Amino acid sequence: EFVVYLQPKYNVNTSTIEGAEALVRWVRDGKVIPPAEFIHVFERNGFIVNMDMYVLEEVCRLQRKWLDMGMEPVPVSVNQSKSLVYSKDYVARLCEVIQKYKLLPQLIEVELLETIIHDNVTELVSIIKQLRLTGLLVCIDDFGSGYSSLNMLKDFEVDVLKIDREFLNNAEINERAKFVLAQIITLAKGLNMGVVTEGVETEKQAELLKKMNCDTA
C-alpha cells in the first residue's frame, strides 16, 4: 500500500533535472494518506525503519530499471529516520541494498533531518564519515526549520545542504530574510556543499535563487 513518488530537483541555471527526492505516500482503499498522518506513528512504534529501507529498495529497483533500459539515472535522495541512522550496522545495511542492484553509491543521497543532529554529535560525525567513504552522498535536510546552528555546518562535512521552504517564502516578502537566505547559500558553497532550496513553485522564485547563486530547486 506504500507508493514511492519522485519530486524532481532542477538546476536553476539550465532548467534540467539533475536529481530527485523520494517521497512515500500510503494509498489505502483509493485514498492517498499523506506522511503527516502516519510517519509520527511509525516513529513511535519502530516501523519507520522498515519504511526507510523499503523506500531505499524501491529507489534502487527503479534506478536499476532505468539502467537496464539504457537510460542514465539521476541521484535520488532518501530520508533516513533517527531510529535507522543510529541502528546497528546502519551503513552496511544501506550498502547491501545498493550492491544488490549493482548501482554506484553516488546514485543515492542520504537525507538527515537536522532534528536528529543534536542528539550525539560525535557518533553522527563518525556515521557521516562512513557514509561518504562508501561513496554515498549525504544531505542535511530542512535546514532552518527550527534547530539550525552554524555549529552544524562547522561540525558536519556533508555534500548537500537543503534549505527549508520557509526561508524562500519569507525572502520573497522580507529584505532581511532575503539577505539571510543569500548568506546561508554563500556560506554553504564556501564549505563546498551543494545547495538545494525547497518549495520552489514559480519562475520568480527560481530567478531569485539564480541571483543568489543557488544550485538547485
Q: How many residues does the chain have?
A: 217
Cβ neighbours around 121 below 10 Å, total? 13
Please tell me the predicted confidence (pLDDT) of residue 41: 94
Q: Identify residue 3 by its one-letter amino acid code.
A: V
Please tell me the predicted confidence (pLDDT) of residue 161: 94
* Separation between Cα atoms, residue 140 and residue 206, nearest integer Å: 21
| DSSP code per residue over 160-210 | EEEE-HHHHHHHTT-HHHHHHHHHHHHHHHHTT-EEEES---SHHHHHHHH
* DSSP 8-state secondary structure symbol assigned to residue 115: G
Distance of CA 158 to the CA centre of its chain: 11
58 Cβ partners below 8 Å, 6+ apart?
A: 4, 22
* pTM passes above 0.85: yes
Mean pLDDT of 35-50: 93
Rounding to the nearest 10 degrees, give the CA dihedral for residues 57, 49, 193, 142: 120
Q: Is 45 exposed, middle or buried (0-12, 13-18, 19+ CB in 10 A)?
A: exposed
Residue pLDDT, tens place only, 104-130: 999 999 999 766 766 678 889 999 999
Looking at the chain, the whole-number percentage of residues with pLDDT higher than 90 is 76
